[in-house]
Amino acid sequence: MAAQEFHFRHFLATIGTSNLAMGLHTVLYPWLVVGVLEQSPSRLGLAQLAVLLPNLLFILPGGVISDRRHRGSWLSRLYLLYCFPIAILAGAALSGELTFSLLLMFGMVFGTVSAFVQPARESLLGYASQDIMHQAVAKVVMVQFIAQGIGFILAGQLDTLGLIALLIVQMLMFMFSSVLIKRSHPQLAVATELAAIADIDTQDTIQSSSQNTSEEKRESLQQLRAGFALFLTDKALLHLLLLVTATGFLAFGVYLVGMPLLAREAYQGGAGLYATLQVTFTMGIVVANFVVSRQKNTFERPGRLMIISFLGRGGLVAVIALMPNFWILFPVIFVWGAFSGMSMTLGRTILHNQVPHSHRSRAASVYQLCLFAGAPLGAWACGFAIEQVGLAQTFTVIAGLTLVVSVIATMSPLWALKATNN
């Protein structure tokens, strides 16, 4: 697809509206578990597992389906699907029937939709100009986390605004996203895209409606194998996946489970404090990506910088384990976010620069699969460990494991990877 056929501004607007809704989810969902229903750390880990596990199960087929469909129209329908579980949650809250079991079911449905959204949305980013891919990625990440920060702030007003009002805002944002994403990726471009896919890889040719189910299944398996083959034939990409998997296991547990428990147990705060910690973390991400977006030239060693940022996050988790006062905690959370934002941008930049257009949805789905392969187990393990040995001890162990992984990563091809434009 030609670069001019992709409307990047509409795409950025979609990133903004959808991530404001996701920011609301990020705070509201765990806080409903630990702050409203007052469940244990292990149950919080289980609740986050319910959200993350569908990604592990469905993100690969989601990538294949995205490559075979018009991504704008497909994403538009998916954003609308988010509204159904949110509406059910609102109904339960209105009737006073909000339970932990219902939250688990909500998390599974919400996570399933996300598994199909992520590879399709990520593949659209690949249509930005390859010469400034790092800038495009940085702008997306900035908009993403600014919007999430606004969602965090709104969610922090749970006691004032009420759950129902916040859920209505969330549904409206997903509806706006549904409209905007269709405008980012015009329908007229589909024929061009599909023809390009056919020219690049005849194995990935879109199957006609006359083909039987067994043939379609074989085609899907072939496409999945083609996605994995990209990483198996490129050692740097393979080690990128390994580092991303470690990120899912080590970083996500702390972020998704440790953060709300840090607010509730270590600092005796409520939803407002949790939201403030999230906003501080997000500000770090935004600042880091603003710096990257101002970088005119691509990074010479993106893999090396990614590993260093991974190491930095581990060191900061070790500081948080000491339970410092607020004057130290908030700057540490900010820098932690900055390292995380840098790592996100570098990982996605490497992916888009190394993988051809025709395979980007599948490559993105494999990338996300590795991230979420570690995340469900990491979230559950973090919750269980906190319940058994305590918050500080768990954070210390995670910091130590991060150091070990970082040292090993310095000996991988990712450390020596030079920037390329695909």
Which pLDDT band holds residue 228 (cuts at 50, 70, 90)? low
Q: Is residue 421 in some structural domain?
A: no
Find the Cα–Cα–Cα–Cα dihedral 74, 80, 85, 87, rounded to 10°: -170
Q: Is residue 187 in some structural domain?
A: yes
pLDDT tens string 244-272 = 888 888 988 888 899 999 998 889 888 88
Computed over every residue of the chain, the mean pLDDT equals: 81
Residue with tokens 């972020």: 255
Q: Is residue 137 in some structural domain?
A: yes
The CATH number assigned to the domain holding 51 equals 1.20.1250.20
Residue 322, SS3? coil
Q: Which range among 93-107, 263-277, 319-333, 408-422 shows the weakest confidence by mean pLDDT?
A: 408-422
Which pLDDT band holds residue 238 (cuts at 50, 70, 90)? confident
SS3 string, the chain, reads CCHHHCCHHHHHHHHHHHHHHHHHHHHHHHHHHHHHCCCCHHHHHHHHHHHHHHHHHHHHHHHHHHHCCCHHHHHHHHHHHCHHHHHHHHHHHHHCCCCHHHHHHHHHHHHHHHHHHHHHHHHHHCCCCHHHHHHHHHHHHHHHHHHHHHHHHHHCCHHHHCHHHHHHHHHHHHHHHHHHHHHHCCHHHHHHHHHHHHHHCHHHCCCCCCCCHHHHHHHHHHHHHHHHHHHHCCHHHHHHHHHHHHHHHHHHHHHHHHHHHHHHHHCCCCHHHHHHHHHHHHHHHHHHHHHHHCCCCCCCCHHHHHHHHHHHHHHHHHHHHCCCCHHHHHHHHHHHHHHHHHHHHHHHHHHHHHCCHHHHHHHHHHHHHHHHHHHHHHHHHHHHHHHHHCHHHHHHHHHHHHHHHHHHHCCCHHHHCCCCCC
Mean pLDDT of 98-127: 85
Q: Is residue 214 in some structural domain?
A: no
State what percent of residues in the chain have pLDDT above 90.
38
pLDDT of residue 207: 46
Q: Is residue 196 in some structural domain?
A: yes
CB-CB contact of 316 with 339 (8 Å): yes
Radius of gyration of the chain from its Cα atoms, rounded to whole angstroms: 21
Q: Is residue 176 in some structural domain?
A: yes
Q: How many domains does the chain have?
A: 1
Q: Is residue 209 in some structural domain?
A: no
pLDDT tens string 153-212 = 999 999 899 999 999 999 999 999 998 888 776 554 444 444 444 443 444 444 444 454
The pTM score is 0.76
User: Residue 379's domain spans which residues?
Assistant: 3-200+219-416
Q: Is residue 206 in some structural domain?
A: no
